């Protein structure tokens, strides 16, 4: 929702205009005075986690997650601070993680990159014998085998199960701090066989930052994703709305996606869909790592890959050809790969030299909406979140 403002009462008792925050949970998220319960304004049963507040039930987010039953809707309020851990969600019942905020989040000009007080991080990276999933900061998958990514164009075997039906996270920075230009894959997310949505969050790594896995459905809004190589990659269905893709360097493609035959996993419109967003040099990139006409929009992890950019600003780091083959062993982008653009802007959006690209008409672009991509209107998205 664009250009919308709500007036709400916060838990501190004042009326404020809310932009890019949750009207459902803002009162819960706001820090309270020392003599007031941190859970004032929160839904009944909310669990409070904090590394420093003595009133917290847990000091670690993962400990709070492990305390939950398999079913039933649960909310965890995460107090301001840094959490060096891996959060692994295997439960099927809905789960919401709320990052605590302070009054500065309500100030004019506050945004995702400055207002978040909660940072969840690890420094794991892929080493010999590891699956990529084992480096992730956040995993939402029903089992270890379901979280596995595997290798090659088909990935890990299909699993006959499904995990969390409705995972949400608000105003949390997820970071993999192991990553640098020379290191291997270092994931931030692994969302597989689950539905997950994120609001006002950041995700930071270099290679393989974001993964939407097999039979996974994800929605990300008003967020920032930092990366270098294939930093949006996956095998599921992912929609990115009003997201800043912050290029720390150029390697591989920005997006690397797989697809599959519908007989393999019916009812899933695989692909990455980037809408009303921005591709820009990251503030921590320098002139030698992100230069003009150096970065690719994407490359096909397998020949059924789908990636669509809609109404997205592209800075001058994007190569005029746009897309590249996956590797020298697969040197051609096949006609079964679907790469498309519509109504994009900025110096990198010129399509006159694009390869393997569909330039969508107005009529064709109408086929790429949240309900049409997810084959129905997802009930697990918070449509009240305004940006």
- From the candidates 166, 173, 230, 382, which is the catalytic residue? 230
Q: Is 230 a catalytic residue?
A: yes
CA dist 151 and 250 (Å) reads: 22
Using CA of residue 344, residue 345, residue 346, residue 350, what is the dihedral sign? positive
Query: Residues with Cβ < 8 Å from 227, sequence gap 6 or more?
Result: 204, 205, 206, 207, 208, 209, 210, 245, 246, 247, 248, 254
CA atoms of 90 and 192, how far apart (whole Å) = 10
Spatial separation of the C-alpha atoms in residues 369 and 128, rounded to whole Å = 40
Can you tell me the distance from the alpha carbon of 387 to that of 97, in angstroms, rounded to the nearest whole number?
A: 19
Question: Nearest 5 degrees, angle CA 284-CA 286-CA 287?
Answer: 155
316 is catalytic: no
In whole angstroms, give the CA distance from residue 215 to residue 237. Answer: 8
Q: Measure the CA–CA gap between 164 and 96, rounded to whole angstroms.
A: 11
Catalytic residue among 132, 173, 190, 208: 208
- Catalytic residue IDs: 208, 230
């Amino acid at each position: 929702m664009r250009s919308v403002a709500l007036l709400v009462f916060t838990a501190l008792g004042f009326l404020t205009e809310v932009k890019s925050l949750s009207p459902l949970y803002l009162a819960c998220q706001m820090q309270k005075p020392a003599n007031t319960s941190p859970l004032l304004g929160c839904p009944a049963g909310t669990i409070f986690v904090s590394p420093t507040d003595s009133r917290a039930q847990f000091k670690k987010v993962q400990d709070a997650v492990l305390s939950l039953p398999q079913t039933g809707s649960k909310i965890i309020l995460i107090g301001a601070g840094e959490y060096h851990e891996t959060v692994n969600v295997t439960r099927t019942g809905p789960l919401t993680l709320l990052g605590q905020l302070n009054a500065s989040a309500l100030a004019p000009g506050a945004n995702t990159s400055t207002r978040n007080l909660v940072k969840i991080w690890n420094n794991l990276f892929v080493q010999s014998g590891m699956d990529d999933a084992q480096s992730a900061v956040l995993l939402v998958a029903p089992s270890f085998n379901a979280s596995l990514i595997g290798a090659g164009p088909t990935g890990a075997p299909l699993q006959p199960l499904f995990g969390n039906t409705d995972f949400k996270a608000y105003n949390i920075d997820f970071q993999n701090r192991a990553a640098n230009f020379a290191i291997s894959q270092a994931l931030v997310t692994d969302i597989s066989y689950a539905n997950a949505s994120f609001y006002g969050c950041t995700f930071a790594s270099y290679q393989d930052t974001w993964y939407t896995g097999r039979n996974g459905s994800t929605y990300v809004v008003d967020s920032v994703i930092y990366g270098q190589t294939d930093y949006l990659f996956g095998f599921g269905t992912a929609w990115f709305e009003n997201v800043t893709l912050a290029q720390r360097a150029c390697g591989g493609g920005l997006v690397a996606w797989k697809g599959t035959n519908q007989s393999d996993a019916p009812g899933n419109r695989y692909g990455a869909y980037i809408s009303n967003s921005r591709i820009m040099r990251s503030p921590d990139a320098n002139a030698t790592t992100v230069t003009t006409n150096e970065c690719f929009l994407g490359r096909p992890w397998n020949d059924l890959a789908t990636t669509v950019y809609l109404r997205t600003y592209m800075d001058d780091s994007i190569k005029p050809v746009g897309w590249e083959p996956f590797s020298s062993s697969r040197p051609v982008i096949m006609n079964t790969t679907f790469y498309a653009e519509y109504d994009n802007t900025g110096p990198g959006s010129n399509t006159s030299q694009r390869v393997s690209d569909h330039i969508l008409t107005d009529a064709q672009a109408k086929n790429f909406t949240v309900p049409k991509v997810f084959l129905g209107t997802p009930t697990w998205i918070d449509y009240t979140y305004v940006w």
